[in-house]
Structure 1
């Protein structure tokens, strides 16, 4: 017994030494943070006067006199961040190598069959991008490389190829290219028989082109070069030197517009949609020169989407149906007065989408916050494809063939890598086509996922999905990273991340708060987190954090928050509202200067967002927006440790929002906690374009968290 006790004590001592080695508190360098110049700018509206000391930072975007000074300031902030994180440099390099090593470099997507060809992408060892390929008729046929993106991207810091569209005769490829990361694509057309890139380069587009059935006519979305709004749909004839015809022009600046082609190939659709209303126009794909016809005129607070099958249109709409319903109408009588219910509205089920096939449809529904597929044939016989994990994400995959008995779908969870399945809708047979391979011996059984419900301030139950490595104990000692988005009705479903394993394997719990502003629990969930109810999003997140502390998943000293873009607004708001609840906050490309941005209609996407945030030219909207906008509400008080990231060429949230916010925080905060701003000087909203470069950003974020936790390896 004595010998055993000695062995146990030695084991405890060894573990203790290991923990001490790994938990040596990081010593932040005694570096001096940049101090931004103060240049008072007055904003006066609705009888309210506000002095903005850092308004001048817009000048790089606005091409103003202080443009160079802005870049110099951002570079100074980068240098400061590099200094502060210098002690973690080797660790971050190791993290990058560790995360990259889990990714299978030589890989291939599951081939998708369309119009006689199997299409797929493949990646090669050491390459950042991919090759877009096809094989005719059989996977044993010779490979055609349609576009070698690895080769095309050479010499470019950023390169994005998008919107691949094959002509109906399989001879031409239209694709969009963005070399700056502002989502302004030039469309090119490649002759797949000769390899020639045609002279038809179409600049300043959304990147996607839709073919008419004559194989000579392309429709595309043209953007305003300043505001980046999608303003016009144009028609282009290959080889023509004449100006492209405008077939549709959107007059309402709050609407996004775009194009689609019916899976059956019969119609081309133009869609125009704001947050609360939409309108669709269509034309026969065989007569592309004919005028587009309005499907149903836009109606106040009515959204609708259209799918074409052989003898009718199917319409997903929220007309008198908050959670949406499915209706149908004849091909020649498309007005709303002709719509007939197929699947009526249900208060407890959100109807998210419809995938059409010749002999059946697949309806994507969300119940209790989780997705399910409802499969219905032409005789109205139906069944459900359901999933069993506590938290997961499932979505319709690539199904371009109209005549098919196979549904391709994607599935993932916090512990299940992304998996592609083919499901036979007649036999109900499910076949796994591919699962993301995680190199290094990943075992999902070593991790546990849970679904919890926090009670919000107003009594609403807010779902939380979380994952941790086995061995975790609910004693309040574990670090926990809480993530959320909470805007635009975008649901943040639980999904797998191989890079996240680097967090979990070092003792972190990772959690997703499914807060209002998303659509996880139905349309009302979204509407209760927007406009004049936006603060529900923030209080929900704070309440989720409190719940996780109360349940001893973590403590304030080990609780971290992360969100990006509109989720970065969330980070700014909760840092103002509950600064002592978080040990650290990561705000990625954060939308934090809400009032000033929404007042400036020259800033990209502003007018598209009025239905989400409100128009501050309205006094009530202005007052409410100002009451939560992070930049407006920075106060003299202690703030948590913070890492803020942005991109100089960001077209979604301009760089000057986080830059101004950080500058103001520096002058106001009373604590000695770390505040760092990292600007990627070459990229935009989505970060790097390569397969692995983004991991350097992840390594920076994890390095920040690990430094705060004293984890050094």
Structure 2
């Protein structure tokens, strides 16, 4: 597909001028009518867009099939997770070749009195019948006959008899809760519709806690359902009425407390319910009025309940402190907190987990996420032992806590890097030894030494150094003739950490240099890095990406005329912004579920999640400066008469986070305005949600579609090296 290729005429959306006035500024929006989701005319338009997209990309069908086949051939389709022990059972999930969804299972554990034996996972071979296996939930059976299937949570009672699960059959992230008796395999009559992510049983197994969203899709209630009682009698444990605050919950590690977290990106509040004495009501730890951003985890020290606080009080990058429960009855300035992990300008503290004997701390240093372990004995005292950190031999990697059962002598760690497939380690708390339990198999003769990952630094216009992760085939020639794809996110303090991707190998084997740009607005370089790309600093996110692209263009490996860009959700807003800022830099852009009409969305607090966005972007409703600043960068408002690159906007009709209307309007206006001849297409998954279609094969097809669009635009359709695709 070249710029000279003849394409069919694209759909032309009608124009219905709608005025949007704020702060004495009027914006005329001619495509707002596309928001009417139930309108036959809107559905007809989206259908026509899909047909046009199919026609424009018809020549990529074989390439899409090739990439899909490469993903499939490299994937161990019949596989299983490493079993994790909880009480008297080993729990795991397995997949089978030809089936879309995971099967959640368990086998009984044994207690010999030997800790090493009792906590060594049973050896279970993929595809081999497992003696004593109990299938708790087969996603393939549950999904049969349904257009969409996704689980929003699983929970098992302490005695192991009951399973609670919730499923979404539309992609709109509203789930239905059901309870299964694992002794009989029968479903209980309890059915709770329209709940959000997350489930937990009370310790005695008589209650299920869950969350509910309001009309704007904000989780605002924590409710309790008593088994056997009508849903109408479910009680509200907590309700949050501030539209800018998000509510969630978790059980404490020792299963004695319900921890309700209420917060935004700048401050939070914890309400605690003692599950052994629920009539005592909720205890507030640090009230939100103190403007402290924190998380709280209860521990018992010398027989007294304390809380481990991960907080930003006088600590921009956060620190960890220990406080007795009795301290929270005092004014904050009078409370005594003991330091566990001191603040460090170079180390971002992410959070903690607790076992009966140790504290596990997640930290980020030099962009890399890692784990530190501290014994509870002596915690917060002058004699506190130094933290231990599992050591690995790669420069760019990701290590995080996967599981920490309260009474376990081990913790489960997940490890990966750009070219090391995911590994599962058990870390023995008493000895500090690492036990490799599994490395995900990659089929087709994959060899990590065939690929190279390196850290480079681009210089932003203001002199800031932007870290880049640059991935390529090791044998790629540095002749300035290779295509490149630059990917980023850059919002909400979310980090794009090193991680293995089978699908990405298909691009690398076609000679594409894959670059992850760790731009401001993300969390890779600490809280200051995040704050440097939010609210009235948001433009740094976009200019950082452009400056990163210019750095890539100057690489001895890369052809500056063959660079593509890709990003999703808030990264899709990034894609819209950079095509307005520097359309000449990119041969093609893929914007996945793109937040490209951000100002319209955030100006309407009735739209899904809008009010929650104020802490990230600012509140343009009340603040004229925020309104003006956002209007200067939001993609839809800033489309101009220029030669835009080839663009694919990929969205889902039932997405509740970024509504389909945003990319639909964006594409219509881009086509109307561009002075170039490159195609601009809209692909809408009619049965999907924010993550696209459900089922692993459908997800592989989605990835293959996106990558084929990029590869075709860059002239990188053919495998340029000996491939390990099989």
Q: 2:397 — aligned with what?
A: 392
Q: CA deviation at 1:707?
A: 1.7
Q: Is the 8 A contact 1:327 1:342 kept in 2?
A: yes
2:6 & 2:436 partners in 1: Cα distance?
Answer: 51
2:157 to 130, 148, 167: 167
Q: CA deviation at 1:141?
A: 5.8
Aligned pairs for 1:51-70 (under 5 A) are 51-60=28-37, 63=38, 67-70=39-42
2:468 to 464, 470, 474: 464
1:231 & 1:102 partners in 2: Cα distance?
Answer: 42
Q: Is the 8 A contact 2:554 2:560 kept in 1?
A: no
CA RMSD of aligned residues (A): 1.5
2:437 & 2:490 partners in 1: Cα distance?
Answer: 33
Corresponding residue SS for 2:470: strand
Q: Is the 8 A contact 2:18 2:29 kept in 1?
A: yes
Bigger mean CA deviation after superposition, 199-208 or 524-533: 199-208
Q: CA deviation at 1:25?
A: 6.3
2:363 to 359, 362, 365: 365
Bigger mean CA deviation after superposition, 562-571 or 79-88: 79-88
Bigger mean CA deviation after superposition, 291-300 or 113-122: 291-300
CA gap of 1:479–1:586, structure 2 versus 1, over 3 A, is same
Bigger mean CA deviation after superposition, 323-332 or 588-597: 323-332
Bigger mean CA deviation after superposition, 368-377 or 638-647: 368-377
2:551 & 2:197 partners in 1: Cα distance?
Answer: 44
Q: 2:109 — aligned with what?
A: 137
1:149 & 1:549 partners in 2: Cα distance?
Answer: 45
Q: 1:691 — aligned with what?
A: 696
1:586 & 1:435 partners in 2: Cα distance?
Answer: 32
2:77 to 101, 105, 120: 105
Aligned pairs for 1:208-227 (under 5 A) are 208-224=198-214, 226-227=215-216
2:598 & 2:2 partners in 1: Cα distance?
Answer: 36
2:345 & 2:59 partners in 1: Cα distance?
Answer: 54
Describe the superposition over 1:324-357 as per-residue Cα deviations: whole angstroms up to 9, x where unpaired: 0101111333354243222221111111111211
CA gap of 1:189–1:27, structure 2 versus 1, over 3 A, is farther
Q: Is the 8 A contact 2:222 2:239 kept in 1?
A: yes
Corresponding residue SS for 1:492: coil
2:9 to 1, 12, 32: 32
Q: CA deviation at 1:674?
A: 1.9
Corresponding residue SS for 1:515: coil
2:471 & 2:415 partners in 1: Cα distance?
Answer: 17
Q: CA deviation at 1:474?
A: 2.7
Describe the superposition over 1:489-547 as per-residue Cα deviations: whole angstroms up to 9, x where unpaired: 00111111001111011101111000000111010100110000000100111111111
Describe the superposition over 1:267-298 as per-residue Cα deviations: whole angstroms up to 9, x where unpaired: 11111111111111111122334412112211
Describe the superposition over 1:589-613 as per-residue Cα deviations: whole angstroms up to 9, x where unpaired: 0000011000111211111111001
Q: 1:279 — aligned with what?
A: 269
Q: Is the 8 A contact 1:556 1:583 kept in 2?
A: no
Q: Is the 8 A contact 1:531 1:612 kept in 2?
A: yes
1:407 & 1:467 partners in 2: Cα distance?
Answer: 31
1:364 & 1:274 partners in 2: Cα distance?
Answer: 20
- Say whether residues 1:553 and 2:557 are aligned partners: yes
1:477 & 1:711 partners in 2: Cα distance?
Answer: 11
Q: 2:288 — aligned with what?
A: 298
CA gap of 1:444–1:27, structure 2 versus 1, over 3 A, is farther
Describe the superposition over 1:415-445 as per-residue Cα deviations: whole angstroms up to 9, x where unpaired: 1111111111322221111111111110001
Corresponding residue SS for 2:637: coil
- Say whether residues 1:235 and 2:235 are aligned partners: no
Corresponding residue SS for 2:697: coil
Q: Is the 8 A contact 1:29 1:84 kept in 2?
A: no
Q: Is the 8 A contact 2:517 2:548 kept in 1?
A: yes
Q: Is the 8 A contact 1:480 1:509 kept in 2?
A: yes
1:43 & 1:398 partners in 2: Cα distance?
Answer: 49
Q: Is the 8 A contact 1:186 1:207 kept in 2?
A: no
2:307 & 2:717 partners in 1: Cα distance?
Answer: 59
Q: 1:323 — aligned with what?
A: 317
2:55 to 73, 83, 87: 83
Describe the superposition over 1:122-150 as per-residue Cα deviations: whole angstroms up to 9, x where unpaired: 11121000211111114486111111111
Q: 2:581 — aligned with what?
A: 577
Describe the superposition over 1:19-48 as per-residue Cα deviations: whole angstroms up to 9, x where unpaired: xxxxx9697442111111011001111111
Bigger mean CA deviation after superposition, 256-265 or 295-304: 295-304
Q: 1:13 — aligned with what?
A: none
2:157 & 2:199 partners in 1: Cα distance?
Answer: 10
1:222 & 1:359 partners in 2: Cα distance?
Answer: 35
Q: Is the 8 A contact 2:483 2:716 kept in 1?
A: no
2:615 to 605, 611, 620: 611
Moved over 6 A (4+): 24-27
Q: 1:652 — aligned with what?
A: 657
Q: Is the 8 A contact 1:41 1:55 kept in 2?
A: yes
Q: 1:21 — aligned with what?
A: none
Stretches of structure 2 lacking an aligned partner (at least 5 in a row): 111-121, 123-129, 379-383, 719-726
- Say whether residues 1:201 and 2:197 are aligned partners: no
2:702 & 2:369 partners in 1: Cα distance?
Answer: 31
1:641 to 632, 643, 646: 646
Q: Provide the TM-score with structure 2 as the length reference.
A: 0.92
Aligned pairs for 1:421-440 (under 5 A) are 421-440=425-444
Q: 1:668 — aligned with what?
A: 673
1:213 & 1:347 partners in 2: Cα distance?
Answer: 40
- Say whether residues 1:309 and 2:313 are aligned partners: no
Corresponding residue SS for 1:121: strand
Bigger mean CA deviation after superposition, 524-533 or 87-96: 87-96
Describe the superposition over 1:1-33 as per-residue Cα deviations: whole angstroms up to 9, x where unpaired: xxxxxxxxxxxxxxxxxxxxxxx9697442111
Q: Is the 8 A contact 1:187 1:208 kept in 2?
A: no
Aligned pairs for 1:241-256 (under 5 A) are 241=230, 242-256=232-246
Q: 1:411 — aligned with what?
A: 415
Bigger mean CA deviation after superposition, 602-611 or 242-251: 242-251
Corresponding residue SS for 2:640: coil
Corresponding residue SS for 2:300: coil
Corresponding residue SS for 2:523: coil
1:150 to 136, 140, 147: 140
CA gap of 1:69–1:703, structure 2 versus 1, over 3 A, is same
Describe the superposition over 1:376-409 as per-residue Cα deviations: whole angstroms up to 9, x where unpaired: 112422322233322222211122x212231211
Number of positions where the alignment pairs a residue of Structure 1 with one of Structure 2: 683
